[in-house]
Structure 1
């Protein structure tokens, strides 16, 4: 396969279903939400009849399409119905609304902006796409690649308009401004290590110049963090690379399917239909109410009593133990799929003891009864091993095919005790870091990890951090003197999973800087054929299992519950929930 063809291969595998508990929607919040202070959006123009658009998905390996129509998926069968409100939840508040500030962006920020903002490309949505990470156009209309793979030209949709108060057409200058700001300060610059310049020859054309071939470039354009901003919607901020900040809700001005109408901290995000959305006929809903509910049991009760329409959206995972009782509720459908995600895992810093000792890491791995873990925590099913890349990736190597390097995934507590003694562990109490941000079920799994470790002689004390501290410090590797219970996470193309083990990456929680890994990742990124790239990914996977940089735990299938009046909803283990909701309608 030629370099040109390979570079157009949009193998974007990813996303995952994240972690812990699904926050419940507080019945109906009593506090009155504060309206976002910007001019109201124009009154939506009624749509007389629903269109019958065709679901357009660009296949994962598509050679240089000259033009790609923007898809507006509608299933065969019942016609969409306009109007109505969808009520869902998220587990915590957004940590601001800026995807590209100089710190790790929160999961909840990504979810919140998926309703309001657009990307150049996005992931497939609609029937049969729960594990399909193919990319489809969003703001982009078409693209092409130079023969040397170093120039990518993207042509934009025309007539895309910013929400009020910006109220103008999106142009190539917006894309250039966004990418330059991201490259100058954001951890998301990790996605485009070879991007050297962005040019705008005309209002609808963006030219990306690369210093070296970067095979996952298109996949990373679809990453959920790569939303496009309008410069004038930001607030002046002298410390920002481009002099603008997007932390406050007043700056939430996008080109997406919904407009942020109001936000009340710890209560609710309310969105209304964008009647000027560039995808003809979408969205179908008039409003989306995304209640912020931090208590899982409250959310469960709210769903049971019909105050919520969907329970268990990404990062608000529905506990498997609650599924049987929900199945008995009339009109409730259970949606289950194997997510494109890693499993939860146990980690430590690779530059500090005890985690920098491979014998200690092997002892931890042998202490886990994976069969028992899977059966007791995930009765709806799951996978024994999901790491270092997702079990649904074509690059994944099952446990039974790992041979000698997979031997430390067996359950052998006596060997674990022997190795622990050999490691030189002195019996000191280690801090086991975790967070309250993923709910009580996640914390209960931390308690189980503590019990498992203590059975082989590792003494621990749990430190459960508030989510804001967790995402600011521990998640970025800023911890000492202990080990960490890390959630599974949602990423894009396989390059992101490998890149998470390289210096400077926001998910390099273990602060690994291994020349072998760095070399493999660099070669994978510059591969000019799928076969060459597969060779390097396989090399990385086997190196990972030999070294056990992380100890992955079994991972359950993602489960969601939805009432029958919710139509055309197809879950995906990704944080861009708003992009899937744009094709949903309700029939009450």
Structure 2
């Protein structure tokens, strides 16, 4: 069975698809594999869309799903396939079709023959070979992507025709099309310019114009884009606006057309503004969690970590810090995931007495905890304050450590947090194997919590290499039960990346939240 058909049957395991509260997704024109936001008037060619985000783009992390690049990447580059949001079925993009061998260890992919890079160079099989090799072994200057494990399962990839590649795997890989969803096809001839941030060359709807680091990036329409008649826009400008209030002011005064990922409490204040459209993406790719560094006592004791899980008032976090955007949960999977189970999602709820009892049984009553937050993300401070209040009701003594962005990132990637920390993780909406082998909070080989257990590695491997839907379903349940027991990651709220738009219609996004402006236009 191919991953295409497997994705469909995995979907049939779900009782239904539960959407997040909040914004409504309007019907509109849609490219395969993307979800569309609106289109209430006829498209009008021309104009420049002005977009705002709180942090500068990060060119060296284009192999990964990195928040600062979600607006940029799909504008400049394309992927081989893009998922349908309802079925997780891969749809053609730079690839036209594909087929698996009977043992699911050989994949043959046919490519479009009419695609050129912005430089004029034709796109072809070697670009796919290079892209897979980059995912498995990133070149100097580029950060590894989260799908490295899937790429590492490739034992060989070769051009087997003028517009065809054949990929050989060491074993079946359940999330191989997640790799295709994340693997933007870069121009091998301009990697050094990409790393330096001086030029970006792809096959996408917009080409590089100019950049002022930390301030703005301008893109121009690709007149030779392979999607006929697209894009409608003449260009795009991405501005860095660090303060949410300034971004909201620019939206209201129509100085910008789109603001990305404003804090939930800020978004809530904009819902009644009839000139703005607030959209919580249906991917649900933002699960807020409390991480536990298990190398620090008493967090090495799972009973104490379970006490933390019962001491978290998820409803307070959702209401006070996230503006009601999302749904409380105890598991990392979004409600659209084949691993989602509503009973598992409700395992932990706020129960101070239960938390106190667990602490007493562990001999850890009065435990002092430090919660680290990223000072550059105001929403994490609000979450930490909600946690501080509820955890102190549950028998803990809590101190909030506000760390500068560079320090927070270094501690997170170095697995050196002071105890607890607040952050969000993605990949709960993708194949479960991607979260277990790629998302750093959960990576069974190495993670931010310093949690290592051969049993966990075995469970993650059973998800990664499941040979059938029945085996996959059983593996999902087993690994979810294990995560709920160990609680080195305490999931709280499954939320969404948000876009707020002013006079910009027809926008779309991929299953990994990358903005798609193929069909966008200024109304």
Structure-2-length-normalised TM-score: 0.85
Verify the 8 A CA contact 2:128 2:185 in the aligned structure 1.
Answer: yes
Alignment CA distance shift 1:371-1:132 (3 Å): same
Q: Provide the rounded CA distance (Å) in 1 between the counterparts of 2:81 and 2:397.
A: 48
Verify the 8 A CA contact 2:292 2:305 in the aligned structure 1.
Answer: no
2:431 pairs with one of 478, 493, 498: 493
Q: Provide the rounded CA distance (Å) in 2 between the counterparts of 1:581 and 1:76.
A: 12
1:272 pairs with one of 220, 233, 242: 220
1:581 paired to 2:517: yes
Verify the 8 A CA contact 2:174 2:431 in the aligned structure 1.
Answer: no
In structure 2, the partner of 1:290 is: 238
Verify the 8 A CA contact 1:430 1:460 in the aligned structure 2.
Answer: yes
Verify the 8 A CA contact 1:97 1:113 in the aligned structure 2.
Answer: no
Counterpart of 1:269 in 2: which secondary structure? Answer: strand
2:378 pairs with one of 440, 443, 446: 440
In structure 1, the partner of 2:191 is: 234
Counterpart of 2:195 in 1: which secondary structure? Answer: coil
Counterpart of 1:250 in 2: which secondary structure? Answer: coil
Aligned length in residues: 498
In structure 2, the partner of 1:62 is: none
Q: Provide the rounded CA distance (Å) in 2 between the counterparts of 1:378 and 1:75.
A: 24
2:46 pairs with one of 71, 76, 83: 83
1:329 deviation in Å? 3.0
Alignment CA distance shift 1:469-1:140 (3 Å): farther
Q: Provide the rounded CA distance (Å) in 2 between the counterparts of 1:89 and 1:448.
A: 28
Q: Provide the rounded CA distance (Å) in 1 between the counterparts of 2:369 and 2:319.
A: 28
1:350 deviation in Å? 3.2
> Which shifted more, 517-526 or 278-287?
517-526
1:390 pairs with one of 325, 334, 355: 334
> Which shifted more, 373-382 or 266-275?
373-382
1:140 deviation in Å? 0.7
2:478 pairs with one of 531, 539, 555: 539
In structure 1, the partner of 2:124 is: 171
1:509 paired to 2:464: no
Alignment CA distance shift 1:463-1:303 (3 Å): same
1:441 deviation in Å? 2.4
1:194 paired to 2:138: no
Counterpart of 2:481 in 1: which secondary structure? Answer: helix
Alignment CA distance shift 1:516-1:174 (3 Å): same
2:135 pairs with one of 170, 182, 187: 182
Q: Provide the rounded CA distance (Å) in 2 between the counterparts of 1:522 and 1:139.
A: 30
Question: Deviation digits for residues 340-368 of structure 1, max 9, x if unmatched?
Answer: 23521111223443322111111111212
2:94 pairs with one of 121, 133, 139: 139
1:209 deviation in Å? 0.7
Question: Deviation digits for residues 385-422 of structure 1, max 9, x if unmatched?
Answer: 16221123242111xx24xx965x13221332232243
Verify the 8 A CA contact 1:119 1:221 in the aligned structure 2.
Answer: yes
Counterpart of 1:142 in 2: which secondary structure? Answer: strand
Q: Provide the rounded CA distance (Å) in 1 between the counterparts of 2:450 and 2:514.
A: 28
1:422 pairs with one of 361, 364, 367: 361
Verify the 8 A CA contact 1:386 1:555 in the aligned structure 2.
Answer: no
In structure 2, the partner of 1:114 is: 74
In structure 2, the partner of 1:319 is: 264
> What is the correspondence of 1:24-63 to structure 2 with a 5 Å cutoff?
55=30, 57=32
Alignment CA distance shift 1:532-1:200 (3 Å): same
Verify the 8 A CA contact 1:219 1:493 in the aligned structure 2.
Answer: yes
Verify the 8 A CA contact 2:285 2:495 in the aligned structure 1.
Answer: no
In structure 2, the partner of 1:307 is: 255
Verify the 8 A CA contact 1:98 1:246 in the aligned structure 2.
Answer: no
1:207 paired to 2:166: yes
Q: Provide the rounded CA distance (Å) in 1 between the counterparts of 2:427 and 2:48.
A: 27
Counterpart of 2:287 in 1: which secondary structure? Answer: coil
Counterpart of 1:329 in 2: which secondary structure? Answer: coil
Alignment CA distance shift 1:291-1:234 (3 Å): same
1:264 deviation in Å? 1.3
Q: Provide the rounded CA distance (Å) in 1 between the counterparts of 2:29 and 2:505.
A: 17
Structure 1: unaligned runs, 5 residues or longer: 18-52, 59-70, 236-244
> What is the correspondence of 1:538-577 to structure 2 with a 5 Å cutoff?
538-556=477-495, 559-563=498-502, 565-570=503-508, 574-577=512-515
Structure-1-length-normalised TM-score: 0.76
Verify the 8 A CA contact 2:263 2:322 in the aligned structure 1.
Answer: no
In structure 2, the partner of 1:261 is: 209
Alignment CA distance shift 1:546-1:495 (3 Å): same
Q: Provide the rounded CA distance (Å) in 2 between the counterparts of 1:253 and 1:99.
A: 12
Counterpart of 2:299 in 1: which secondary structure? Answer: coil
Counterpart of 1:464 in 2: which secondary structure? Answer: strand
> Which shifted more, 285-294 or 439-448?
439-448
Verify the 8 A CA contact 2:413 2:448 in the aligned structure 1.
Answer: yes
1:318 deviation in Å? 4.4
Verify the 8 A CA contact 2:174 2:464 in the aligned structure 1.
Answer: yes
Q: Provide the rounded CA distance (Å) in 2 between the counterparts of 1:338 and 1:105.
A: 17
Verify the 8 A CA contact 1:72 1:280 in the aligned structure 2.
Answer: no
Verify the 8 A CA contact 1:10 1:219 in the aligned structure 2.
Answer: no
1:536 deviation in Å? 0.8
1:214 deviation in Å? 1.1
> What is the correspondence of 1:14-29 to structure 2 with a 5 Å cutoff?
none
Q: Provide the rounded CA distance (Å) in 2 between the counterparts of 1:54 and 1:231.
A: 33
Counterpart of 1:173 in 2: which secondary structure? Answer: helix
Verify the 8 A CA contact 1:341 1:391 in the aligned structure 2.
Answer: no
